[in-house]
Amino acid sequence: MKWAKALFEPRGVAVVGSASQGKIGYELIQQLTEGGFDRVVAVNPKGVGAFDVPGVTSLSEIPEDMTVDLAVIAAPAATVAGVLEDCGRAGVGAAVLITAGFSESGNHAEEEKVLRVARTHGIRVIGPNCAGIVNTRHRLFPTLETRPPAGDVAFISQSGALGGAVLSWAEEQGMGFSKFVSYGNAADLSEIDLLDYLRNDEETKAVALYIESVSDGRRFMETARRLSAVKPLIVIKSGRSESGSRATLSHTGSMAGADAVYDAALTQCGAIRVAGVEEMFDLCRGFVSLPPVKGKRIAIVTNSGGPGVLATDAAESVGLEIISPSDALRTRLKETLHPYCSLGNPIDLTVQGTEDDYRNALVEILDEADAALAINVNTPYLDASPLARGVVAAAQATGKPVVANFMAGRTVETALPVLQNGDVPNFATGERAVRALGEMASWAAGCGVAEDGRRTADETRELPWEGQATEIDAMRWLQSNGVPVIAHRLCRTVEEAVEAQTTFDRPVAMKVVSPEILHKTDVGGVMLGLATGEEIGAAFDRMREIGGATFEGVLVTPMADHPVEVLVGLTRDPQFGPVIAVGMGGVLTEVLHDVCLRVAPVDEAEARRMLASLRGQPLLEGHRGRPACDISALAGLISRVSDLPFVYPEIGELDLNPVFCSETGCEAADARVVRET
């Protein structure tokens, strides 16, 4: 990518804007020169420089011996388009527009003008309204934020201020960055372009991203998925509590919403969503320091019982397994460790634990565990660094991921550099350490399997009815699209209804059929368990009354024998397009909002993961001695339904509620389709 070279590895940088002391241009020049970048020129009407950087009045006057690939622009908004014209003529390849006052404050026209000029000259733009960029390996710091230490994490932030805070915090958290980009209004280059670039950036082992929104949901997912297949993508998406303020799923009401769709999309593309900056730091440090966490089997070696138990609690709460050492291992540990040690897991070395004990205990137990946490609650009068050396030695000897929780304060000051240099990340608490291991294990397990489920419909079709579908229209249409539906009979007379019941040979359900009645239950238009001629007759009369002028008959279906009820729904999200929802129906859906969303389409494997994520999932697996449902059939139904909005673009909403599931298969027992308006 040519733009990336100009942006991150420029041969020279022009800082455009006043270089008088206290002005942004001045600060940028200071940052660049103090950071160690020496091919800088200042461009401003007065032609003044600063910090030994020469000043010129125009980009056309740049000294012949300097090739400027990057312009960092802090000039007033109204002048930016003109500056870019100059940049174009001077052969600049990329521009970072620090200047604010564009679309973020309503000035869309000026932003479009700037973009047009940039496109004309082939200049790629970061910003406007951004806090700058960093490339530590190139000693390039055209930003007003703290210059962070070099490291292996790239950090991309929609918010300049949050980005700056993260950079300021990095050093005390023992974190370093490869690149940082505050992309502001993303008039040209967006988070999508940057993620695409970082996938192949060899200086970046993990990518952290702060977003408030994305501009193109589907493209974002595609890019994030490709990145996640090769390196971890850790995302803070703010605005969780806005949930429900936007798109809602018809039946599932309050459980959907923009944030829930983002959550689904991030899960689908293999990104790791975290709630805040601390968790982001913890995960980034884990990912860049450690080898992959290849399983969920964890060991804890401690010299104090209490913190070991707290870490155990946390480990189990994130789905890690605290392994039980084999008898052979116990024997080996007994031979190696001093006799006071408790040889379970956690292994408690007690306060007498030595460098050798830590090393030996970790080396032995990592023979059976996938990763380990070493806890040292340090006694103030003992030097913690030998213990740190023991931990590092074990990590190096085994090649397995080892994290540490050396507590606390000044009593472990000497140990922390030992751990850091030995690539054993130290966490503030054991709980945070195991939470990081848990996320890393999940990521490693899912890495690469998150395949692109996207399919393009061969052809699109129109819905085979005018206006609003009756339930029977919808059922037939579903059937013709390979979605199994319950046996049903449209009956226009009592006699037909009685005959239908006789044919089904079991009690039946009856529902009014009328194009005017959408929510049949609410008006009493559904009656269940009708077994005799009298019951059917009475029900039919009632349905006719409810149906009124538009009564078309009743739909008669056989009562199922206590099936498991599942809800399958479709809706459209303004950002991500068709979204599929799956829930366990009944109270679980309505009261507990136990619904899983995914951006459609999903394949059967993803549909199975959706079902597995439901709290009510045990119901499908043969709860309390009942046979397990045919999960394969259900996953197939979900996947086929998720394809429908691509074949029939007119679908706005679709609800199959309930879908009856049993050991022999599944079938939609009710259907409602709403046309996109």
Instruction: In angstroms, give the least distance from the CB of 478 to its own copies.
Output: 26
Of 84 and 284, which has the nearer Cβ to its own copies?
284
The DSSP secondary-structure symbol of 458 reads S
Report the distance separating Cα 262 and Cα 12, nearest Å: 39
Sequence-ordered list of residues with C-beta below 8 angstroms from that of 475, at least 6 positions apart, any chain: 485, 486, 488, 668, 671
CB of 312 to its own copies, least distance (A): 6
**What six digits make up the tokens of 349?**
């070395």
Min CB(145)–its own copies separation in Å: 6
For residue 106, the minimal CB distance to its own copies (Å) is 13
241 or 456: whose CB is closer to its own copies?
A: 241
| Cα 543 from chain centre | 48
Q: Which is nearer to its own copies, 316 or 356 (CB)?
A: 316
Q: Which residue has the tokens 């974190």?
A: 175
How many other CB atoms are found less than 10 A from the CB of residue 544? 16
Residue closer to its own copies (CB basis): 20 or 60: 20
139: exposed, middle or buried (Cβ count in 10 Å: 0-12, 13-18, 19+): middle
Query: Which CB atom, from 255 or from 483, has the smaller least distance to its own copies?
Result: 255
Query: What tokens appear for 277 in the block?
Result: 């900056």
For its own copies, the closer of residues 286 and 586 by Cβ is: 586
Name the residue nearer to its own copies (CB basis): 117 or 372.
Answer: 372
Q: Give 432 or 572: the residue with its C-beta nearer to its own copies.
A: 432
Shortest spacing between CB 142 and its own copies, in angstroms: 14
Smallest separation, CB 519 to its own copies (Å): 11
- The nearest distance, CB 42 to its own copies, in angstroms, is 18
CB of 306 to its own copies, least distance (A): 3
Angle value at C-alpha 396, between 391 and 397, nearest 5 degrees: 95
Phi, psi (5° rounding) for residue 165? Answer: -65, -40
Query: Between 305 and 464, whose beta carbon lies closer to its own copies?
Result: 305
Provide the b/e sequence for 47-81 (b: ≥16 CB within 10 Å).
ebbbeebebbeebeebeeeeebbbbbbbbebeebb
CB neighbours (10 Å) of residue 507? 15
Q: Which is nearer to its own copies, 391 or 472 (CB)?
A: 391
User: Of 252 and 411, which has the nearer Cβ to its own copies?
Assistant: 411
Q: State in angstroms the smallest separation of the CB of 84 from its own copies.
A: 25
430 or 453: whose CB is closer to its own copies? Answer: 430
What's the min distance (Å) between Cβ of 160 and its own copies? 8
Task: Give strand ranges (E) for 266-360.
Answer: 272-274, 297-302, 321-322, 347-348
Measured from the CB atom, is 62 or 274 closer to its own copies? Answer: 274
**Shortest separation between residue 491's beta carbon and its own copies, angstroms:** 25
Provide CB contacts within 8 A for 112, sequence distance 6+: none
Task: Decide: 669 and 660 in contact? Cβ < 8 Å.
Answer: yes
d(CA 114, CA 187): 9
Distance CA 662, CA 666 (A): 6
Using left for φ > 0, alpha for ψ between -120 and 50, and beta otherwise, residue 22 falls in left
Q: Are 569 and 657 in contact (CB under 8 A)?
A: yes
Q: How far is the CB of 245 from its own copies (least distance, A)?
A: 12
Residue 427 vs 648, nearer CB to its own copies: 427
Tokens of 372: 């380990």
* 247 SS3 class: coil
**Whose Cβ is closer to its own copies: residue 384's or residue 570's?**
384
CA distance 533 to 176: 78
**Assigned token pair, 512:** 């009014």
Q: Do residues 655 and 567 touch, judged by C-beta distance below 8 A? A: yes
Burial (CB count <10 Å: 0-12, 13-18, 19+), residue 220: buried
Residue 24: CB minimum distance to its own copies, A = 10
Distance CA 71, CA 97 (A): 8
Please name the residues in contact with 604: beta carbons below 8 A apart, sequence gap of 6 or more: 632, 635, 636, 638, 639
| Cα 474 to Cα 515: distance, rounded to the nearest angstrom | 12
Q: Which residues pair with 95 in a beta bridge?
A: 71, 125
Beta carbon of residue 146, minimum distance to its own copies (angstroms, whole number)? 5
Q: How far apart are CA 286 and CA 371, in angstroms?
A: 12
Closest distance of CB 378 from its own copies, Å: 7
Helices (H) and strands (E) in the chain, counts: 21, 27
